[in-house]
Structures are given as C-alpha cells and as structure tokens.
Amino acid sequence: MTMRSKLMLGNWKMNGSLADNASLVSELLAGMAGVHCHAAVCVPTAYLAQLQNLLAGSALELGAQDVSAHESGPFTGEVSAKMLQDFAVRYCIVGHSERRRYHAESDALVATKAQRALAAGITPVVCVGESLAEREAGQTERVVKRQLAAVIHANGHCISEIVVAYEPVWAIGTGLTATPEQAQQVHAVLRAQLQAATAHADRVSILYGGSMSAATSADLLAQPDVDGGLIGAAALKASDFLALLETASR
C-alpha cells in the first residue's frame, strides 16, 4: 500500500478581508516550521490575487472554492479554470454540500467542474456526503457512491488525479463529527470504488470534512483510509489550523 502524505485543506468559505487575511497568513507561515504534511487554503475568489502574493515561495498552497463548468463566454459572475490558473491555484473545491444545497448543483455539473479543473492542471477536491435523513435511512453508501460515480464516469483515466472529500452534511458547521469508525467505513467504500475505476487509486487522497477540530483530528487521521481533512471554521484561526497541521504531521 502506498503511504500518502496527509493533506489538510482550509476552506475559508465566505469569510475574510484584506487585513484579516494578511494577519492570518502571517501567523500561519510563522508557525509552519514543524509542519510536514501538505497544506493549502481555499479562499474566496476576490482574494486569490492577494493570497497568491502572500503565499509565494511558502509551503502553504493556494486553493479556490469553486470553478465554472464553462471555459469562457456569457456567464456573468462565473470564474473559469483558466482564470484560476493565472493565480497559481493548486486545488479547487467542487461540489461542496453548500453548493449542492444552495445552488442546486447536480452530480453531473460537479463532474464537469472537476473535468474543467483537471484540464487546467488544477486538482479538484470532489466533495461527497449524505444528509442526516439519508444516513438515518441507511442510504449513506448509495449516496456517496452515486456522487463519486458521476465524476469517475466523466473523467475516466484522469480519476487518479483528483482528491475526494467525504463531508457528512449533518456534521458541517454543526459541531457534530462522524466517529472515526463512521468516517473510516465511508472512506473504505470510496477507496474500493476508486480501486474499481483505476489502478492508481492509492494515489488519491480521501479527506474527511465535517467539524474536524484539534480534539477530534488525531483519531480521525489515524484511520487507514483517512488521508487528511477539509477544514472549515478551524481554518480561520491560525492557532487552530496550525494545531491540526501538527497533528497531521505526526
């Protein structure tokens, strides 16, 4: 089995200001001396230029929170993968549960967005996850497999170049966290699905997202198929995010 380096992605969601971002990044970079995992921050589009400058030459990489399914054209408000390329974006979140929920993004649309990112040399972070009602109805496995299957179908042999993030919708911003056993169970299902699709499934990092904190991270990250985290609230406070990065570096 390939040993994958842990990957920790901070998702700032719709937070930040020029001043706050500069302060947060300064603190993060000052505290990263002992960090040995891969780390990135996925920031609002408005701040990509600022973050490209702030992170230049550092070990902290830059990510975006969304990408258009279109390459260019009359799509007011959309941002293409080629535009993200201009800002040296390394990762791009696609299909976050908030996009699926508030913007009615379908599995097919998410798959196309992943395709656009890959074509631009950007690693899509494909989010999958079930609602509380779906979990209680015993549909978790069916839901996450359906969501990932669309991306596999659209991207074929490139599928080993993606990152997958399992984010149980019921655990996002709620303070609830899947138990390490619950997370591992779903991650193992996703790993098996990737193995059926590519000989290089061991290259794919599968992250856990859903209220991961310093208190819960060690046990989650110790699971064999949990390769890192997609971090929300804890990524907005330097001390919290650094604590997670240190745990992931062990």
Catalytically annotated residues: 96, 167
Query: Which residues lie closer than 8 Å to 162 by C-beta, 6 or more apart?
Result: 114, 118, 123, 124, 125, 126, 151, 155, 204
d(CA 169, CA 166): 9
d(CA 250, CA 39): 14
User: Which amino acid is it at 182?
Assistant: Q
d(CA 135, CA 129): 10
- The runs of H, that is alpha helices, within the chain are 18-30, 48-55, 81-85, 97-102, 107-119, 132-136, 140-155, 180-197, 214-221, 238-248
d(CA 201, CA 166): 16
Distances (CA, A) of 224 to 3, 156, 182: 10, 25, 13
CA end-to-end span of the chain: 19
Structure-token match 């200001």, residue found: 17
Q: What is the dihedral of CA 228, 10, 68, 71, to 10 degrees?
A: -80
H-helix or E-strand spanning residue 20 = helix 18-30
SS3 82: helix
